[in-house]
Amino acid sequence: MSCVDKDNRMNKILDYIFRTDRLYSEYAHKKNITYNRLMVYYAIKTTDSCTQKSIVERWNLPKQTVNTVVQDLKNKKMISLDKRNSKREKTIVLTAQVKIHISNIVDEMVDFGNSALEVLSEKEFEILDSSMNRYLNKFEEVLLEI
């Protein structure tokens, strides 16, 4: 494979990643929230014992951004921070009303993502999943060598 072909393949992967991020950003805009706030909502909804640190590490969001969103939610009495599990890390606890609000936004986002996946057969999805997993494992391996 020529160098140009390799570059084109990598450019396609990056285009897919950025296009996906842009689509989620458009969804966030339709919900009158930022992309980063949407990702924090998603992290809170889908992670047991969610902490600011776990959001930063898993979702690769800037620490200050996560802190700003969490502090805003806390100031609006939408969450509380529970330090029972750890003296250093506080678990984010949603109020009942906010849990419904965040669930509605995140569930709708997941639903439209699942709707988009309907264009793939089970076999096509298995190939996509397997291929992305192999690609990302190799990417991590190469990155560790740098």
| pLDDT tens profile 58-80 | 888 999 999 999 999 999 888 88
Separation CA 102–CA 41 (nearest Å) = 6
Residue 25 sits at the vertex; the CA angle it makes with 19 and 29, to the nearest 5 degrees, is: 145
| pLDDT tens profile 90-135 | 889 888 878 888 999 999 999 999 999 999 999 999 999 999 999 9
Asked whether 36 and 65 are in contact (CB, 8 A), the reply is yes
Which domains does the chain carry?
3-145 (1.10.10.10)
